[in-house]
Chain A
Amino acid sequence: MSDISILGIESSCDETAAAVVRNGREVLSNVISSQIAIHTEYGGVVPEIASRKHLEKIDEVIKTALTEADCTFHDIDAIAVTYGPGLVGALLVGVAEAKALAWALNKPLIGVHHIEGHVSANYIENKDLEPPFACLIVSGGHTHLVVVKDYGEFEIVGRSRDDAAGEAFDKVARAVGLGYPGGPKIDQAAKSGDPKAIRFPRGEVAGSPYDFSFSGIKSAVLNYINSAHMKEEPINVPDLCASFQESVTDSLVSRSIRLCQERGFTKLAIAGGVASNSHIRARMEEECLKNHIRFYRPSPILCTDNAAMIGTAGYYEFIKGKRDGLDLNAKPNLKLGER
């Protein structure tokens, strides 16, 4: 069989990215232009700025991806692009670009679900990983515990009922004055703190053992801060961060391990931006080891929004025969498993 090269394009939030992936698992290039520095100034992603910056960057990013992969448009077999979920204006830039390229080059177009992309990031560095396996997806906008039944086929087992895991990190970071992006800031501050200093709830949802509630954990942290202010006691930020992180980690780890035990999975993967949190990775690894589960996690660069994962997910859609028309549209509220 001859090689299949996919050009992946990703612009759903604050990274403009393009990548060339060969045969689904070999990354020839992975270019990411991040806007985090710009958005830090505003304390979060500013949608209008995001789409304008995507527009400025996208051509250059694609060109660099091709150059680094040492290929031209003619070596590309298909174009895969994130079409949801995400910010509508940001998604539109990538989708319009991909459609224009597909039309001009007469190449197949494949719309990729952003979350499927995150899950697929695990295939890149783990050549032996094949479905079925359990996967926890944690990012700024999503928290899902799923069973990956086949390539591109998911069963959602648990999800957040309120805030996404990454959002809880952002909000707590804001409350203690650490700023944006909250995840890495809390991860860093927590390193010198005691995770057992303060006991926060574990975000259980009555009657739904696999669902998460991070809003409750956030409220408990805010109550703790308010109470300290009222008593005019100083807050130990490292202890608070470590304890908050421990509670989120506990809630993620316990449900993931439980899913593996109850359904007999021996493979567990994590994905999404929050999957690069060092404490979550370490605790997950430890618990998997104890329970004889093989633990898969992408390198931090593949946890963040990137286009290599879109190229990989696009490849598996491509070989299944999925093709999208030039009427492909951005779907900001696209749900997992929805087409």
Chain B
Amino acid sequence: MIFESNSQDETFAFGEKLGAEARPGEIYCLDGDLGVGKTVFTQGFAKGLGITDYVNSPTFTIVKEYEGRLPLYHFDVYRIGDPSEMEEIGYEEYFYGQGVTIIEWPELILDLIPAEAKWIRISKDLSKGFDYRKIEY
């Protein structure tokens, strides 16, 4: 399906809707370039999960955990050089646990992504304006 967003607020609201519907054990792969709004989407998603804590970039520590209706595990694997490095972080406990996992830059660890993971692709189309985003899910 495709959702078209014309602002950060719409991207946030779309994330919130998906977060409200998320179920235990689900994995969401968030694919998109620098600056497409992956963090904004995730912030909305977290709100949908009932998380009140600030959700900020996990780039520095690779994963951040939040407590809500369900736990949220927010990964940014941009700095992972080799998929085997994910083992050091203990990714299996997150991916196969009872919380919901969001992964930014999932294509860097493709081999580790379970087949049932949901993919969300966010892209720009500058011919439709700077704020336009196509969200495929």
Chain A residues proximal to chain B, CB less than 8 Å: 13, 42, 44-49, 51, 85-89, 140-142, 159-164, 167, 171, 174-175, 215, 218-219, 222-223, 226-227, 230, 332-333
Contact = CB atoms under 8 A, between A and B. Distances in A.
Nearest to B39: A162
A164 B126 contact: no
A141 B79 CA distance: 13
B82 A48 contact: yes
A86 B63 CA distance: 10
Interface string B52-63: 001011011111
A175 B34 CA distance: 8
11 contacts: A45-B79, A47-B85, A48-B82, A85-B60, A85-B61, A86-B60, A88-B61, A88-B89, A163-B57, A167-B59, A230-B126
Interface of B: 34-35, 37, 39-40, 43, 54, 56-57, 59-65, 78-82, 84-85, 88-89, 124, 126, 130
Nearest to A140: B60
Contacts of A230: 126
A88 B88 contact: yes
Contacts of B54: 159, 161
Contact of B79 (A44, A162, A164, A215): A44
A36 to B, nearest CB: 14
Contacts of A87: 61-62
A226 B130 contact: yes
Given A160-B56, A162-B56, A218 B35 contact: yes
A162 B57 contact: yes
Contacts of B64: 333
A46 B81 contact: yes
A201 to B, nearest CB: 12
Nearest to B77: A47
B39 A333 contact: no
A163 B61 contact: no
A108 B25 CA distance: 42
Q: Which 3 A-B pairs have the closest CB atoms?
A: A141-B60, A48-B85, A222-B35
A102 to B, nearest CB: 24
Contact of B130 (A42, A85, A215, A227): A227
A74 B34 CA distance: 51
Contacts of B63: 332
Given A47-B79, A230-B126, 4 more contacts: A89-B89, A222-B34, A227-B130, A333-B64
Contact of A163 (B43, B59, B82, B126): B59
B59 A48 contact: no
Contact of B88 (A42, A51, A175): A51
Q: Which of B37, B81, B89 has the most CB of A within 10 A?
A: B81
Contact of A171 (B34, B62, B65, B88): B34
Nearest to A216: B8
A164 B56 CA distance: 8
Contacts of A47: 62, 79-81, 85, 88-89
Given A48-B84, A333-B61, A163 B78 contact: no
Contacts of A167: 57, 59-60
Contacts of B40: 215
A46 B79 CA distance: 6
A152 B21 CA distance: 42
A141 B130 CA distance: 28
A3 B43 CA distance: 50
Nearest to A227: B130
A140 B124 CA distance: 27
Contacts of B60: 13, 85-86, 140-142, 164, 167
Given A162-B39, A215-B39, A222-B35, A42 B61 contact: no
A90 to B, nearest CB: 10
A174 B35 CA distance: 12
Contact of B81 (A48, A162, A218): A48
A325 B119 CA distance: 44
